[in-house]
Amino acid sequence: MLIQRNQVIEGFDAVMLRNLFRVERFNVADVATTLDLDEKEALKAIERLSDTEFVTKESDFDDVSIWQTTIKGQALANARIGNPISRAKADELLAGVIDRAKNIIVIAMSQ
């Protein structure tokens, strides 16, 4: 997965979410700190991320809910930050691969 700086996912900065999800398990206070929210906003954020299947509630410990990332959340945690290549550049690179494959076939056929 590739994310870009200033990209927004579920209303939050994608890089900040990625950093949160790299922890794998967290509580409301962790979300508040990482996303720069108060605890009430952080709880709403967790609910939204749970509704969209980025996180799931793991357990409650001493009246503190522990949340963990889902497979979808882990995909975001492992995302790279960068810019996608242009269609023209992708076409150029693919044409190069096809040309090299054709050359290999020609060489193989001539032997």
Q: Domain count for the chain, please give it.
A: 1
Length of the chain: 111
Range of the domain at 55: 2-85
What are 87's two structure tokens? 């269609």
Give the CATH number for residue 23. 1.10.10.10
- Position 30 scores a pLDDT of 93
In the chain, the amino acid numbered 78 is: N
- Position 13 scores a pLDDT of 93
Q: Is residue 99 in a domain?
A: no
Q: Is residue 109 in a domain?
A: no
- Position 37 scores a pLDDT of 94
- Position 74 scores a pLDDT of 95
- Position 85 scores a pLDDT of 87
Q: Is residue 42 in a domain?
A: yes
Q: Is residue 8 in a domain?
A: yes
Distance CA(24)–CA(73), nearest Å, equals 9
Q: What is the pLDDT of residues 49-102, one digit of tens each?
A: 999 999 999 887 778 889 999 999 999 999 999 888 899 999 999 999 999 999
Q: Is residue 23 in a domain?
A: yes
